[in-house]
Structure 1
Amino acid sequence: MSDKEKKRFHEMAETDKKRYDAEMQNYTPPKGEKQRGKKRKQMKDPDAPKRSLSAFFWFSNDERGKVKGENPEYSEMTAYKKKKNPALQQAAQPVPEDVDDDEEDVEDDDE
């Protein structure tokens, strides 16, 4: 279809849209008719049983122990939290303790 033919239909659509908007400003639905709009989400029963695990979750539960055993240094979530929260970065840094100095002070007091 050429642009000239398309233009005619676009103009018709614009005029019809203006007519529709004007009609809808004064529209009130009949009393017996339901309102259209968002459907409400059905409330979930809190006492209902949970669904069974999928095959992927059964597999993941079996493999998790193996992976954690082979790679104890993996701690992706703690690294992520440290990166996002500067307070955790400071708390995570080891504080050097002078254990030897405390023991020497105690020995000097005894003499």
Structure 2
Amino acid sequence: MRSLIILCCLAAGALSADKYNPKYDNFDVETLISNDRLLKSYINCFLEKGRCTPEGSDFRKALPEAVETICAKCTEKQKTNIKKVIKAIQQRHPKQWEELVKKNDPTGNHRDQFEKFIHDKS
């Protein structure tokens, strides 16, 4: 699940000392989650089964740290975006979600905390 915040980092850009770069705060998450073809493309990027957009590559690089720290360096907007994308994947592509979990958190060390983060209303 380390990279599981796959889309979690749809909101994260290049790393900085305290927070992720806010350049992706305005990433169009609504278009991503409403376009299943586009969503699948990002899922494949994170699973290393397909090509990545420049944004997807940036997100994939930040995933391990973001998952491990439960998005500690994410801005509030990035946290909101990540939650939306992960929920869409869980609901519409549960098999790929499980693949992402197995790939990125094979021991399951971060799963419970991450699930709490995703479903937290704040």
**Please, what TM-score do these two structures have when normalized by structure 1?**
0.22
Select the structure of larger CA radius of gyration.
Answer: 1
Higher RCO structure (Cα 8 Å, ≥6 apart): 2
